[in-house]
Amino acid sequence: MIAGRFGDNGELFFEIQLVAANNEQFEVEALFDTGFTTGWLGINSQDLEALEWSIITPKIEMQTARGSEYFDLYEGKVIVDNKEFIIAVHVGEELSDTLMGSL
């Protein structure tokens, strides 16, 4: 079972681990956002450097709260509740410091 906490505005935060290409693991707090993507994770481009994940598709246009934005799509590896998943990851310049996605 996944344990998490609610933020001041009712957001659901929970811990996940990001697994870099060299298998190093980074524990982070993620924000569960059912309105952003379906089964994908969103991260800032600056965070991608340490993970060295492989790009799948560059410059995918998506509708966000700020309008139309472009994201690169990467293949990422995460661990949630001690289970490893290969997932699609949206990477953009303007994402918040909190990871966003719905797993």
Whether the pLDDT of residue 28 is over 90: the answer is no
Return the SS3 of 31: strand
| pLDDT, tens digit (0-9, with 9 covering 90-100), for 51-96 | 999 999 998 887 766 778 788 899 999 988 889 999 888 887 655 4
Round to whole Å and give the CA distance between 1 and 80: 10
Mean pLDDT over each residue of the chain, to the nearest integer: 78
Round to whole Å and give the CA distance between 47 and 51: 7
> What confidence category does residue 97 fall into, taking pLDDT thresholds of 50, 70 and 90?
very low
Q: What is the pTM of this model?
A: 0.70
Q: What integer pLDDT is reported at residue 4 of this predicted model?
A: 75
User: Does residue 40 or residue 59 have the better pLDDT?
Assistant: 59
Token digits of residue 30: 């993620």
> Averaged over 13-41, what is the pLDDT?
80
